Amino acid sequence: MNKGLLLFSLIFIVLSCARPEREKVDFEAWGEYWFQGQAEISSFNLTQYRYGEPREGEAVLIFVTEDFSRSKQVKLDDPATAGRDKLSVIKMNQTRDFITGIYPYHMMLSAFTPTREAMQGVKFTASSQEWCGQSFTQINLNSGESYSGELFSYFEKEGDKSFSLTGMAEDDLWNLIRINPNQIPTGSVQMWPSLIYQRFTHGEFVAEEAFIRLTDKSNNLRQLEVTYSSGKRELKIDFEKEFPYPIVAWEETHTLDNGEKEVTQATRKGMKVIDYWNRNALEDEFLRDELKLNP
């Protein structure tokens, strides 16, 4: 490790030691669900707008807790020896699969958010694969509250580039719901849209004013709503009121310059808590049927 990287790592670890814990979260009950060595998997029927038309497909949300390296921002191989470098995070993996005409899209988004420590998400990645090519984005939290990012794309005008960001990540909201909805800031915030949305629009990586509100949708459900001041994007996430606050549906609205609206929707069809990484034998394929996953 060079001296510069070593110094950054030491500074990051020292600063992180002073982080306060999240308030108003019952971590004893929280841990009984999330620290049991399993993941929560939910499957969704997806209607994804792409190229001006709605496409039927499938989405999957995987939530799991991990021991993360503060300095390297990767999953630790040996948490027991990591000391203060160990950071507990909840990870969301979100996949979307759909067909556009003859060719398929495979997309994946990952978000890593500290569980106990009251700090913003530390890492976000997104990948997109389709027959034209592929792209990959990674954004990491710096030692302060700014982010550094890199985009690798097959498009000439995007190329391979580095950028910086400040503000809140929209993709952090999914994990904050699962920690406790009271961790979500409401009202006006500076926020940058989802990395999946950025892939679809090929927009710049910039934060803009967004308005967040939480409302009761029914006796059992609450809704998180995010509206961007540009008027181009709106996100709604429906989740159960009671812990562990499972997500049951979401809706994204993209408003075109001509006023037309493209609405993407996902509705839950199956859910299971399981150690999926240990279920990789042929005899485990029946579990896909229990989750109602497409072949």
Q: What is the mean pLDDT of the chain?
A: 94
3-state per-residue secondary structure call for the chain: CCHHHHHHHHHHHHHHCCCCECCCCCHHHHHHHHCCCCEEEEEEEEEEEECCEEEEEEEEEEEEEEEEECCCCCECCCHHHCHHHEEEEEEEEEEEEEEECCEEEEEEEEEEEECCECCCCCEEEEEEEECCEEEEEEEEECCCCEEEEEEEECCCCCCEEEEEEECEEHHHHHHHHHHCHHHCCCEEEEEECCHHHHHHHCCCCCCEEEEEEEEECCCCEEEEEEEECCCCEEEEEEEECCCCCCEEEEEEEEECCCCCEEEEEEEEEEEEEECHHHCCCHHHCHHHHHCCCCC
| pLDDT over 80 (residue 19) | no
| Per-residue pLDDT at 159 | 85
Cβ atoms of residues 287 and 272 within 8 Å: yes
Tell me the mean pLDDT in the region 170-188.
Answer: 98
Instruction: Give the residue with greater pLDDT, 14 vs 162.
Output: 162
Tell me the mean pLDDT in the region 125-139.
Answer: 97
Per-residue pLDDT band at 120 (split at 50, 70, 90) = very high
| Per-residue pLDDT at 145 | 83
Per-residue pLDDT band at 255 (split at 50, 70, 90) = very high
Tell me the mean pLDDT in the region 96-115.
Answer: 98
Contacts with 201 (C-beta within 8 Å, 6 or more apart), sequence order: 254
Tell me the mean pLDDT in the region 22-27.
Answer: 94
Tell me the mean pLDDT in the region 77-83.
Answer: 96
Single pTM value for the model: 0.92
Per-residue pLDDT band at 144 (split at 50, 70, 90) = confident
Distance CA 163, CA 148 (A): 6
Distance CA 61, CA 239 (A): 13
CA angle 224, 226, 227 (to 5 degrees): 145
Tell me the mean pLDDT in the region 216-234.
Answer: 97
226: nearest Cα among 185, 196, 257:
185
Cβ atoms of residues 111 and 169 within 8 Å: yes
| pLDDT over 60 (residue 4) | no
Of the CA atoms within 13 Å of residue 157, those in its CB half-sphere come to 3
Distance CA 139, CA 160 (A): 14
